[in-house]
Amino acid sequence: MNTFGKMFRVTVWGESHGKALGAVVDGCPSNLPLTEEDIQKELDRRRPGYSIFSTPRKEPDEVELLSGTFEGKTTGAPISALVYNKNQKSKDYNKIKDTPRPGHADYTYGVKYGNYDYRGGGRSSGRTTIGHVIGGAIAKKLLDYSHNIKIIGYTVKIGKIEGDFNYYSKQEIFHSDINDIIEKIENNPLRCPSSNVDEMKDYVLNAMENKDSVGGIVELVALNVPAGVGNPIFGKLNSELAGALMGVNAVKGVEIGRGFESAELYGSEMNDEYYYNSENNIQLKTNNCGGILGGISCGAPIVIRVAIKPTPSISKIQHTVNVKTGKNQELIIGGRHDPIIVPRAIPVLESMVAITLSDLMIRSGFIHPCRL
Amino acid sequence: MNTFGKMFRVTVWGESHGKALGAVVDGCPSNLPLTEEDIQKELDRRRPGYSIFSTPRKEPDEVELLSGTFEGKTTGAPISALVYNKNQKSKDYNKIKDTPRPGHADYTYGVKYGNYDYRGGGRSSGRTTIGHVIGGAIAKKLLDYSHNIKIIGYTVKIGKIEGDFNYYSKQEIFHSDINDIIEKIENNPLRCPSSNVDEMKDYVLNAMENKDSVGGIVELVALNVPAGVGNPIFGKLNSELAGALMGVNAVKGVEIGRGFESAELYGSEMNDEYYYNSENNIQLKTNNCGGILGGISCGAPIVIRVAIKPTPSISKIQHTVNVKTGKNQELIIGGRHDPIIVPRAIPVLESMVAITLSDLMIRSGFIHPCRL
Amino acid sequence: MNTFGKMFRVTVWGESHGKALGAVVDGCPSNLPLTEEDIQKELDRRRPGYSIFSTPRKEPDEVELLSGTFEGKTTGAPISALVYNKNQKSKDYNKIKDTPRPGHADYTYGVKYGNYDYRGGGRSSGRTTIGHVIGGAIAKKLLDYSHNIKIIGYTVKIGKIEGDFNYYSKQEIFHSDINDIIEKIENNPLRCPSSNVDEMKDYVLNAMENKDSVGGIVELVALNVPAGVGNPIFGKLNSELAGALMGVNAVKGVEIGRGFESAELYGSEMNDEYYYNSENNIQLKTNNCGGILGGISCGAPIVIRVAIKPTPSISKIQHTVNVKTGKNQELIIGGRHDPIIVPRAIPVLESMVAITLSDLMIRSGFIHPCRL
Amino acid sequence: MNTFGKMFRVTVWGESHGKALGAVVDGCPSNLPLTEEDIQKELDRRRPGYSIFSTPRKEPDEVELLSGTFEGKTTGAPISALVYNKNQKSKDYNKIKDTPRPGHADYTYGVKYGNYDYRGGGRSSGRTTIGHVIGGAIAKKLLDYSHNIKIIGYTVKIGKIEGDFNYYSKQEIFHSDINDIIEKIENNPLRCPSSNVDEMKDYVLNAMENKDSVGGIVELVALNVPAGVGNPIFGKLNSELAGALMGVNAVKGVEIGRGFESAELYGSEMNDEYYYNSENNIQLKTNNCGGILGGISCGAPIVIRVAIKPTPSISKIQHTVNVKTGKNQELIIGGRHDPIIVPRAIPVLESMVAITLSDLMIRSGFIHPCRL
């Protein structure tokens, strides 16, 4: 099942060490200005070699846009784009064939498919999110162009180090100019706008020295989503976002608004009261719901948090089985890996939010399904 | 969007104060023994009046099975079942029409649909989960009958009171006889097997006295799911479970395995190592992944936790708007409500796990799509 | 697979001799005026006992509308409606269990499902089209209310008797007042507006005397469909119509516009030339394409023809097998049957056209997916 | 909507004069032997320049297989394949921009999308069926490898010239060795095994001299399809086949078995009686149903006929409008075109039959959804 969405549909394909990876975006309305640069910009944000915290695999990840646009604008036809692999080092992975790596999908792919491409994790590699980002780049353009919707992701926690910047601590920022904060996020190897980010960096460096890896929490905010997006009962905005985000590699938890904290609150604390603002528009006094009520957006910012586990590839000795010998054995993973996937996951998570919103905004009648 | 699933499909319908509510289950293979009692048993678990902690609305919720079985077994044809409403008191809800209740879906339904049935929350009412439970009862029967799969849900936290029973604290129980623990759960008004459950009850009673409501956390464990269920990239088991559960009313967070805690762990702590057990089967030493790797089940129990917000209906004075007068005003909610929805939500959450698993087990080739 | 449509979705259920039959319509936008009478009117058109040419089974087919409307208008919630069976005579069908009737689905259902409801054909009975007509009644109302679209079906051929009324012979009628022709169709037991209809009646009566049955051809015209409906490549209007209609019981062929005749024409005969009419609108000089080019409606009437095979239930001696004895044997079908299904099939075929158009008009942006 | 299928899904993309065209096949089980040659072989069958009856556009149509296989076998991951365009002559098409060609999709694409690639018909070009054939080649391999299913298409009529070879005239051939007949079909520019094929060739040559084009009828037979394929009510085998085939460019009619002729038959003529054959298997005496009863295959060959209209591109003077000048005008179409599309359409039609069968055989439990 490599297609996401019902009306705005993204089909992704490709393996870590195959010839190429790509996506076909179907259901994007015509007349959206779109160039290779729009997609390249987002691919560059997830590219390996982004910082000291990412795998040293050198991949230019240059996108080729093959169909679906004419004279610089979309035509309503499917948009096909791909990236050729350039820097595969498949030998590194020969040993995976028989000794499934703990925390990876080697074992489950082997059980499920029998024949699978184990090189670099094959289809289960983080590299397959190139397709997500191609789809996400187009979705972001569509949302921004048609509704000025902005999707912003940033790190709020690394390992045990909690940052001091998050939506509920800095809510006012999201109602003023957000460009400053976006710049801060993008010029930071952890994509973390908190003031205690150096503490986080040290935490990761320390883990790297110990041949270990760390996880973290990402917060995602979508601004300017109009009230009315989302289709109860089984097409709720929160439901589709949770499904989309939980499906990204390494994600182990998703919460909307106050999330798990809401279980601790009283109804009188959690409920967001309504009032008429000075322009006579109905607004929420607080946004504990995270912008969604009854599965439908209420006009407040959409607020999501996502837990990302530590990268399973570590250089420490681990125990596993050898399916060829039928015996237990030790394993030391070679190859090139990220000690932390959190910052590179952010454009992927933003992409899934953008794709989900694009799909639901078409399905909710905010974006015309065929033409802008 | 009132249909869930691709191969095992549940379509739900009905409003809180309409004539009836029900579900159509399509794609259930033939030859599954199924009677009204199988469904009634599960409906009784979510029925109002279940305990002092639930709404006093008296509804027998008697199911009528209308199609899809012949001589006590399914035929592969769609299974339609419904429950007639008996005890509507619609007058209680007249005031909702103009004054949206904080934390409810009144405002978003009004914005989205213009005309909507506001009585008792209409389509956004928790009462609509009757359809989920009808579908879930059939899915549970299918999973149990074909693969001996058991799905067990229980409360692990109420408000700020953390229970002492959860999967990671009592893992051994899930590998021995679970009937004791199921009995404990079902004979307890909070469906909580922890030893400090009385503390939780007091917490809820105290909130009730204060005209307030509380939330909580539910843990769900699925036993005996074989390795290989789940279809990457966009049909991952974790992704579909998260989407299914986040869509249940009042859910604000979902985590798989160690969930948000995994963000704090090192890779060497999080990774589940493999070994050959005494029967020469490959097993995990730990189950931090919650039974899913790369979106595919690995044979270990599936472990999920879900955060449920406090019931938004509280009798305290709240502030809202009056869309008729165009002015802010105070609101005191009458009607009949649950001070806590957690225990009654459990059969609904279990149902969504069962439906999701049924669908993915068919899509993954473990259950034949047409006949048992 | 008992759900049709992607955005306007109709789920049908029920068996010929079960408790009830019905449909759930999901994705109908809110604010459409809708009552039980709108549905009853269409059900009455397909009801048994309609004329001397239909089965004597007495069924009032009274619809109950159970959800999805409020104060006489739709709410965007799923619309559930059903009809209880009243006049089952299941004993007539006992012998089918072991001796599959030629031309019926008994054999294939038996092979596929093992356990199936053979009484009256069970799920494969023409009676299951009650669900189609419920869905179609709502779709017709939606199309008419929002775009003044009319769908008209009528018999153009019975057995070997070709009628003198069809779209290409009487094209001008469809551009003037069509109420006369509709009245003519509805007040005629064969739903045939041709002047030689008596010849057709005699043909059927003659077959009845011979304990035989006859087939025929139905033409369907949809008026006022705007240009732009249909989504290439795999959601073409002609493709979805053909799939919808070929799925109706007894249909063996579907053609659009000139259909099979177009294979005999030269390009210069088949091509419909364009011109500006007196209001400066682009129009087709002819309508050989049947209103669809490249899978997209072009503004001209949609023209479809459907071939319906003779009713397979005949009272003549036939040869079949007995799966219990494992021997060949003779069979005489008892029970109550239609000597011709063509006139009763017309409301069903119209329904499928209406449902397909409703779905594609939402998907093509002509009807808002959530509210009118 | 550029994806076909529910479990075996083919997503196609590309324009006639764009950079490339291709397909992504998702849901093909692992362990199917598959190479570029398997796909190339089928692409060669639809390639332009196939004979004097096809467009002189020179395109090698060399396929690149980019993902989804490992060591010569499928892995269950999506299979992406593409063909780069080499011989575009886009200048030929400049005039289409303003003067829609009769019988083509220029007008409807313009109305629907505003911005569209008009060069060579863009997305509505027959060249886009490269994607269908890529998907079809994989589907054919899957069907043949797993069930020895063969799909054979051939011309039975060209213009007004009816051939003497068709399923009902030569039924015995399909139960003996079919290789002779396949060879005859493939070594014939009209893909017609009838003895009067020269008469057909003259018919086409005559039309070419008159700057005109002709249509025809194709028959498709699928052998060795087991009984039980197809899912009533809305996933019937006949319904899905009809939808798939009617969606192929230029198709105006589809019939199953006796098709439109069945409307003329009596029930006693149409019904296929059952008998036990010498191996005690249940069989049909005749195959008027075309291998499908109640939407489910019955084990007899699937028999389909498809009407193809004459190629709309003709060099004769035609009348159309000029949307720039707002006036009627004459049009002579330049560029390179097929005087008849029938023979080149055959591999495309076979592909759609193969894709439909693959999808329904997975959905009906005959092929495992994940691995062979």
C13 in B contact zone (CB under 8 Å): yes
Contact criterion met (CB < 8 Å) for D228 and B370: yes
Q: Is there a domain that residue B368 lies in?
A: no
Among B345, B347, B350, which Cα is nearest to B42's? B347
Whether residue D213 is predicted with pLDDT greater than 90 in this model: the reply is yes
Share of chain B above pLDDT 90, in %: 88
Q: Give A272's contacts in chain B (Cβ within 8 Å).
A: 102-103
Q: pLDDT value at position C47?
A: 86
Per-residue pLDDT tens over the stretch B314-337: 999 999 999 999 999 999 987 667
Q: Is there a domain that residue B60 lies in?
A: yes
Q: pLDDT value at position A151?
A: 98
Share of chain A above pLDDT 70, in %: 97
Nearest CB neighbour to C30, from listed B11, B27, B115: B115
- Rounded to whole angstroms, the Cα distance separating C319 from A144 reads 68
Average model confidence (pLDDT) for chain B? Answer: 94
Whether residue A286 is predicted with pLDDT greater than 70 in this model: the reply is yes
B12 in C contact zone (CB under 8 Å): yes
Residue spans of alpha helices (H) in chain C: 36-46, 106-113, 129-147, 179-186, 197-209, 237-246, 267-270, 342-363
- Rounded to whole angstroms, the Cα distance separating D281 from D278 reads 7
Q: Give A76's contacts in chain D (Cβ within 8 Å).
A: 112-113, 115-116
The predicted model gives A237-258 an average pLDDT of 98
For A268, the closest chain B residue by CA position comes to B212
Per-residue pLDDT tens over the stretch D84-134: 998 776 666 677 789 999 999 999 999 999 999 988 889 999 999 999 999
Q: Give D302's contacts in chain C (Cβ within 8 Å).
A: none
Q: Give C71's contacts in chain B (Cβ within 8 Å).
A: 115
Minimum distance, in Å, between the CA of residue C71 and any CA atom of chain D: 32
Angle value at C-alpha D10, between D341 and D247, nearest 5 degrees = 40
Residue D123 counted as an annotated binding residue: yes
Minimum distance, in Å, between the CA of residue B18 and any CA atom of chain C: 6
Contact criterion met (CB < 8 Å) for D117 and A77: yes
A370 in C contact zone (CB under 8 Å): yes
B85 in C contact zone (CB under 8 Å): no
According to the 3-state scheme, what is the secondary structure of D12-28? EEECCCCCEEEEEEECC
Residues 262-291 of C with CB under 8 A from D: 262-276, 280, 282, 285, 289-290
**One-letter amino acid identity for A37?**
E
Contact criterion met (CB < 8 Å) for A108 and B256: no
B185 in Cβ contact with B154 (< 8 Å): yes
B167 in Cβ contact with B134 (< 8 Å): no
Among C30, A255, C67, A289, which Cα is nearest to B128's? C67
Per-residue pLDDT tens over the stretch A156-207: 999 999 999 999 999 998 888 789 999 999 999 999 999 999 999 999 999 9
Contact criterion met (CB < 8 Å) for A363 and C7: yes
**What sign does the dihedral D312-D318-D323-D328 (CA atoms) show?**
negative
Whether residue A93 is predicted with pLDDT greater than 90 in this model: the reply is no
Chains in contact with B, counting 3 or more C-beta pairs less than 8 Å apart as contact: A, C, D
Nearest CB neighbour to A253, from listed B260, B313, B327: B260
Nearest CB neighbour to A66, from listed D18, D27, D370: D18
Please provide residue D56's backbone torsions phi and psi, each rounded to the nearest 5 degrees. -75, 0
Tell me, rounded to whole angstroms, the distance of Cα C304 from its chain centroid: 12
Among B342, B284, B333, which Cα is nearest to B313's? B333
A235 in C contact zone (CB under 8 Å): no
Q: pLDDT value at position D175?
A: 81
D4 in Cβ contact with C234 (< 8 Å): yes
- Residue B130's pLDDT band (boundaries 50, 70, 90)? very high
Minimum distance, in Å, between the CA of residue C275 and any CA atom of chain D: 5
- Rounded to whole angstroms, the Cα distance separating B116 from B15 reads 10
Contact criterion met (CB < 8 Å) for B114 and C27: no
3-state secondary structure of A87: coil
- Rounded to whole angstroms, the Cα distance separating B358 from B369 reads 10
Whether residue C309 is predicted with pLDDT greater than 70 in this model: the reply is yes
Q: pLDDT value at position C176?
A: 82
Whether residue A27 is predicted with pLDDT greater than 70 in this model: the reply is yes
Whether residue D298 is predicted with pLDDT greater than 80 in this model: the reply is yes
Contact criterion met (CB < 8 Å) for D31 and A3: no
Contact criterion met (CB < 8 Å) for D71 and A14: no
Nearest CB neighbour to B75, from listed C64, C75, C115: C115
Among A355, A358, A357, A353, which Cα is nearest to A369's? A358
Contact criterion met (CB < 8 Å) for D267 and C159: no
Among A67, A231, A361, the residue to mutate for chain C (most C Cβ within 10 A): A231
Burial classification of residue B302, based on how many CB atoms lie within 10 Å of its CB (0-12 exposed, 13-18 middle, 19 or more buried): buried
Per-residue pLDDT tens over the stretch C150-207: 999 999 999 999 999 999 999 998 888 789 999 999 999 999 999 999 999 999 999 9
For A33, the closest chain D residue by CA position comes to D115
Q: Is there a domain that residue B370 lies in?
A: no
Whether residue A112 is predicted with pLDDT greater than 90 in this model: the reply is yes
Share of chain D above pLDDT 90, in %: 88
Lowest mean pLDDT among A62-71, C291-300, C333-342: C333-342
Contact criterion met (CB < 8 Å) for C369 and A370: no
Nearest CB neighbour to B213, from listed A107, A256, A267: A267
* Count of C-beta atoms within a 10 Å radius of residue C179: 9
Minimum distance, in Å, between the CA of residue D287 and any CA atom of chain C: 10
C2 in B contact zone (CB under 8 Å): yes
Q: Is there a domain that residue C36 lies in?
A: yes
Q: pLDDT value at position D294?
A: 97
Per-residue pLDDT tens over the stretch B217-253: 999 999 999 999 999 999 999 999 999 999 999 999 9
Q: pLDDT value at position A28?
A: 98
Residue spans of alpha helices (H) in C74-196: 106-113, 129-147, 179-186
* Count of C-beta atoms within a 10 Å radius of residue D43: 22
- Enclosing domain of residue B336: 3-363
Higher pLDDT, A273 or B118: A273
Please provide residue B104's backbone torsions phi and psi, each rounded to the nearest 5 degrees. -100, 180
The predicted model gives A218-246 an average pLDDT of 98
Whether residue B15 is predicted with pLDDT greater than 70 in this model: the reply is yes
- Per the structure block, which two tokens stand in for B4? 């869930």
- Residue A72's pLDDT band (boundaries 50, 70, 90)? very high
Cβ contacts from A onto C, under 8 A? 22
Among B28, B146, B231, the residue to mutate for chain D (most D Cβ within 10 A): B231
Among A69, A115, A130, the residue to mutate for chain D (most D Cβ within 10 A): A115
Nearest CB neighbour to C365, from listed A231, A364, A368: A368
A13 Cβ contact list (under 8 Å, min separation 6): A2, A21, A22, A23, A131, D24, D26, D66, D67, D68, D77, D78, D79, D80
For D103, the closest chain C residue by CA position comes to C271
The predicted model gives B170-192 an average pLDDT of 91
**What sign does the dihedral A323-A324-A325-A331 (CA atoms) show?**
negative
Residues 170-229 of B with CB under 8 A from A: 207, 210, 212-217, 227-228
Contact criterion met (CB < 8 Å) for D246 and C238: yes
Q: pLDDT value at position A307?
A: 98
| CATH at residue D84 | 3.60.150.10
Q: Is there a domain that residue C42 lies in?
A: yes
A350 in Cβ contact with A151 (< 8 Å): yes
The predicted model gives C106-118 an average pLDDT of 94
Chains in contact with D, counting 3 or more C-beta pairs less than 8 Å apart as contact: A, B, C
Q: Is there a domain that residue C10 lies in?
A: yes
Q: pLDDT value at position D291?
A: 98
Q: Is there a domain that residue D264 lies in?
A: yes
Residue spans of alpha helices (H) in A114-209: 129-147, 179-186, 197-209
- Residue C317's pLDDT band (boundaries 50, 70, 90)? very high
* Total number of domains constituting chain D: 1
Q: Is there a domain that residue B371 lies in?
A: no
For A6, the closest chain C residue by CA position comes to C6
Among D294, C12, D54, B235, which Cα is nearest to A2's? B235
The predicted model gives B144-151 an average pLDDT of 98
Q: Give D15's contacts in chain A (Cβ within 8 Å).
A: 67, 70, 77
DSSP A28: P
